[in-house]
Copies of this chain bind each other. A is one copy, B any other.
Amino acid sequence: MTASPSEARAADTASNDESPLACTGGRARKLTRRMTSFYEQHLRRIGLKLSQYSVLMNISAEPQALQQIAAHLEMDRTTLTRSLTALVQNGWVTDAPGTDARQRRLVLTPSGQKFRAEAHQVWRDAQWALEAQLGRDFVATLNAQLERALSQLKPALPEEN
């Protein structure tokens, strides 16, 4: 409502009161949509989504617990579960036997290792294309900015589960 407590600060950002584009989150989302689209133009020829590629690159011949992978990727645990479904169905990833019946330990299959190398090459093409389009220096700067933002914008409620 008429939030009087914030009127003082309102002057600080009054320049963009009417402009929703000032929203950093909105910009980030928009860029992510374009960026995802860009990468997936390349990845489409091997039938991978960018997210699936990310998951695939974080699985190896060494069994890793699902939660470890999720933490490393900083993906929602349940999102990872469903993302793995496709990779498992394609025979690239499988469950390694373990001692703890709760824990899922995931490994690449032989065909998964082969496919991962192929996917990596396709990603390289995409990344090179991105650097060609935006300029290598700018991409490096952007990477650094994203990295810095990530280091400062810590995830909220870090796993209260």
Q: Which residues of A contact B (CB under 8 A)?
A: 1-11, 13, 15, 19-39, 41, 50-51, 54, 57-58, 60-62, 73-75, 108, 113-114, 116-118, 120-121, 123-128, 130-131, 133-136, 138-143, 145-150, 152-156
Q: Is the CB of B128 within 8 A of A34?
A: no
Question: How many copies of the polypeptide does the oligomer hold?
Answer: 2
Provided the pairs A8-B57, A24-B142, A57-B20 are in contact, do residues A153 and B127 lie with their beta carbons within 8 angstroms?
no
State how many angstroms separate the Cβ of A124 from the closest Cβ of chain B: 5
Provided the pairs A13-B127, A21-B131, A127-B21 are in contact, do residues A28 and B121 lie with their beta carbons within 8 angstroms?
no
Q: In the docked arrangement, what's the CA distance between A117 and B17, Å?
A: 11
